[in-house]
Amino acid sequence: MQADKHQNDLKALQQKISSCRICRDEPISTPLPHEPNPVVRLSSTARICIAGQAPGIRVHESSIPFNDPSGDRLRQWMGIDRDIFYDEGKIAIIPMGFCFPGWDAKGGDLPPRKECKTQWHDQLFTLMPQIELLLVIGQYAQNYHMKAQKKKNLTETVRHAVDIWHKSQKPRLLALPHPSWRNSGWLKRNSWFEEQILPLLRREVKQLTA
């Protein structure tokens, strides 16, 4: 009965999020400069949750999370195909910002909007107690989900990802860099990521999506 209640509450919350326009109509700072399009995937059965940053422009246009080169790289890291990745019964996707935030002066994506965290995140994760593995991608997600477990910067947090994973309770936290192709240089400089972190990631994903 409790699981059914969580499922019904999640469905109601999904509908509220889909119609949310807070960042445009009641923003914390500068209004979102375009029509909001919240992209999030909730689940009452998924054992894995991908906690990312915010949708990019391709995701904004398609309404499909990680439907871009970053998603291709993330799926390669996880060792799964699109069918498993987009199976909401197995994987939930909750970024820190649900809408594409726009571009900064240099043409990069702006940080995730703060309104989503303030309005939605605590409610969402309370209704998803079945999550066993939280993939915490990028500094904004790590700031929210990892708190004291986070190190002085993203590189050090990811470097200690295996140790943090062992020490964390349900859900276990696994810190990752953003899979953006802008981070290709970081990946080349930090070859230990592929050698030390990806084997654990793929093992856990395989087990939890079986």
Q: Are 162 and 203 in contact (CB under 8 A)?
A: no
Interatomic CA distance for residues 69 and 73, integer angstroms: 6
Amino acid at 53: Q
Residue 92, pLDDT score: 97
Q: Which residues contact 27 (CB under 8 A, 6 or more apart)?
A: 113, 115
The distance of Cα 25 from the centroid of its chain, to the nearest Å, equals 25
CATH architecture group of domain 2-208: 3-Layer(aba) Sandwich (3.40)
Residue 189, pLDDT score: 96
Q: What is the pLDDT along the chain (210 residues), one digit of tens a residue?
A: 566 776 888 999 999 999 999 999 999 999 999 999 999 999 999 999 999 999 999 999 999 999 999 999 999 999 999 999 999 999 999 999 999 999 888 878 889 999 999 999 989 999 999 999 999 999 999 999 998 899 999 999 999 999 999 999 899 999 999 999 889 999 999 999 999 999 999 999 999 999
pTM for this model (two decimals): 0.94
Residue 2, pLDDT score: 61
**DSSP single-letter state for residue 64:** -
Residue 1, pLDDT score: 57
Secondary structure (DSSP) of 91-119: EEE--SSSS---B-TTSSBPPPPHHHIII
Interatomic CA distance for residues 206 and 210, integer angstroms: 6
Residue 181, pLDDT score: 86
What are the extents of the domains in the chain?
A: 2-208
Q: Are 154 and 138 in contact (CB under 8 A)?
A: yes
Q: How many beta carbons lie within 10 A of that of residue 84, not counting itself?
A: 16
